Amino acid sequence: MRSQKGWGKIILMDSDPHHEIALYIENAQEMLEVSRLNLNNDFYASAVNRAYYAIFYAANALLVTKQLSQSKHSGVINGFRQHFVKTGLIAPEYSDLYGRIMGNRHTSDYELESSINKEIARADLADAENFVTEITRWLKKDGWIK
């Protein structure tokens, strides 16, 4: 399998779901690290953006387990909620934090006078870390990753 990775872009050349899931989780971990770097260097809006993308990639990893693929942000969160939260596989609190951080990411990316500050960025990063940890735990429990 050949894949290319960079700033969260994953281009897959075949369809091994275990490998695809591993790549999504690897990208989620990378986004958490970049978010930490941005937070530590006072780039709060960028920290929130990267924290959001960590969640986005982890949610995509889950969707692969159901043979689902979404390219739009709204499709990923809706698929996550429909197939994992509403079915009781993932606790509703993760849906709430996904939605909140998605909203903060929209603010940080599109509002020139962003209200994103250090406290918001720190909280979003901590919640994104919890989200990725929970998704990784679930994927390991179900045998999708080691």
Q: What is the pLDDT along the chain (146 residues), one digit of tens a residue?
A: 333 444 444 445 457 899 999 999 999 999 999 999 999 999 999 999 999 999 999 999 999 999 998 879 999 999 999 999 999 999 999 999 999 999 999 999 998 888 899 999 999 999 999 999 999 999 999 999 98
Residue-level pLDDT at 15: 75
Nearest to 122 by CA among 35, 57, 55: 35
Q: What is the Cα–Cα distance from 69 to 61, expressed in whole angstroms?
A: 9
H helix or E strand, kind and range, residue 72: none
Give the CATH fold of the 3-141 domain: Four Helix Bundle (Hemerythrin (Met), subunit A) (1.20.120)
Backbone torsions φ then ψ of 121, nearest 5 degrees: -60, -45
The SS3 of residue 61 is helix
Q: What is the Cα–Cα distance from 135 to 137, expressed in whole angstroms?
A: 5
This prediction has a pTM of 0.89
**What is the residue extent of each domain of the chain?**
3-141
Residue-level pLDDT at 54: 98
Residue-level pLDDT at 9: 46
Residue-level pLDDT at 71: 79
Residue-level pLDDT at 28: 98
